[in-house]
A = this chain, B = another copy of it.
Amino acid sequence: MKKTRDIKSIEQALVAFYRSSKRMPTYTEMMDLFEVRSKSVVSYWIDKLIEKGILEKDTQGFLKLSGISFGIPLVGNVAAGLPVSAEENIRDVVSMDEYLVAKPDSSFLLRVTGDSMIGAGIIEGDLVIVERGRTPKNGDIVLAEVDGQWTMKYFRRQGRGVVLEAANPAYPLIHPEEELKIGGVITASVRKYLM
């Protein structure tokens, strides 16, 4: 009954190490992690993890956590039961960075102030991810300069021109003059409730 060393605990140790160190441990470091005294034992378990598909070796032979272990699981549907012991009923596993930010080089975060987009479910305090240099399509939410102020608005084509509309009836429609300044297109929004 007392097995301190099984595949799952080793996987967890590796994931924890990678999360805090941003790299995989060396075999010598794994000796401490797994609480064994020989590198050959490490090799023994690593081989098992590779067989299970939890680990991979890339083209250069370096160890790599294969997606499954990284990121957090996306549950299929709750009706089928909650993931009590993980493993079950999991549709996919995603990294938030990869899921939310397609172009990290040209994106930035912005904290939302005001209630102009409340109708779209974007409320004060949210963070929005803005992608620079992207040409907005009809219906996209954009960060635009109106009267010297940067605000978020729906971008709507109307005939030959463009209208900026807030997701809040309290705000007027904006018919921008020439040279509409677009700071970027909102590609995602996130909100944190608890630490």
Residues of A within 8 A of B (CB): 12, 15, 19, 21-24, 26, 29, 58, 60, 62, 64-65, 70-75, 78-79, 82-83, 86, 90, 94-97, 99-102, 104-105, 107-111, 118, 121-123, 126-127, 129, 131-132, 134, 140-141, 143, 149-150, 183-195
Docked-complex contact B111 and A121, CB < 8 angstroms: no
Query: Does A75 lie within 8 Å of B192, measured CB to CB?
Result: no
Contact indicator B19/A62 (Cβ below 8 Å): no
Is the beta-carbon distance between B108 and A83 smaller than 8 angstroms?
yes
Number of copies: 2
Residues of B with C-beta under 8 A to A15: 104
How far, in whole Å, are A14 and B64 apart by their CA atoms in the complex? 17
Question: CB < 8 Å: which of B62, B95, B126 contacts A97?
Answer: B95
- Cα distance, A150 to B82, chains bound together (Å): 9
Taking a contact as CB atoms under 8 Å apart, the answer to whether A19 and B104 are in contact is yes
**A62 and chain B: residue at smallest CB distance:** B23
- In the complex, which residues of chain B have a beta carbon less than 8 angstroms from the beta carbon of A23? 23-24, 58, 62, 64
The answer to whether A72 touches B188 (Cβ under 8 A) is no
Q: Given the complex of chains A and B, what is the CA–CA distance between A89 and B29 in angstroms?
A: 40
Q: In the complex where A65-B22, A149-B79 touch, is A188 in contact with B190 (Cβ < 8 A)?
A: yes
Name A21's contact: one of B58, B83, B99 (CB within 8 Å). B58
Residues A188 and B191 in contact, CB atoms below 8 Å apart: yes
Q: Report B-chain residues with C-beta under 8 Å of the C-beta of A74.
A: 108-111, 127
Give bound CA distance, A60 to B32, whole Å.
14
A116 to B73 Cα, complex, angstroms: 23
State which of B141, B143, B185, B193 has its C-beta within 8 Å of the C-beta of A186: B193
CB distance from A74 to the nearest CB of B (A): 4
Which residues of the partner chain B approach A19 to less than 8 Å between Cβ atoms? Answer: 104
